[in-house]
Structure 1
């Protein structure tokens, strides 16, 4: 079953530098359903939606060795600049395997004005995920 998402639009995967250095893009349309209530009269794309952009980009570009891994944790987030309707959000992702065998994705999200967010996600293969 696909994960629920607050995004109306799609995250597009871009050509990758390598299997461990990937990229994606999301354009914030005026029709995004989260915008009307997030600062009425001055809409700003919510931070949780930037995290979701990173998650979708990460899951679309999992390294070959990490196929089948699922999101185990949002390890950190840092929001550094606003994202507005009409902005194109570029997502660059760096992948590495951790000493425990999990996969970490460090995503940097930027707009034409500069940095918007940094998100660090951890993915675990089914046999290494902790029971919830």
Structure 2
């Protein structure tokens, strides 16, 4: 998992930054540009949905990975492995059980875990920036 996170750190960081900026500007265009045509508003909606879906997929898969990996130690322990006669197999199961205690997670430079909580935080930041832009636009 560390190798995966190391490879995709920059991509996921840029994904979060672009999602915040794109959502903020998309909301601004949808609500604040008075002479925007219906066509440009529809294009803005698809633009917003594209960025949201891209981030949503990563965050959703991160949540699913975490949930499924958290079920693994309990499933291994409940598998009646103590009744096995093969000693080497028991040692292997104990090894897997010990290493499955650390639950893998997608993250971005160890700052953000890619899960649905982070997805909500990204939306919150985008709306906050939109509010700032709206306040600046009023002046």
**Shorter-chain TM-score category?**
under 0.3
TM-score w.r.t. structure 1 length? 0.27
Question: RCO greater where, 1 or 2, for CA within 8 Å and sep 6 or more?
Answer: 2
Q: As a proportion of its length, which structure holds more helix?
A: 2
Larger radius of gyration: 2
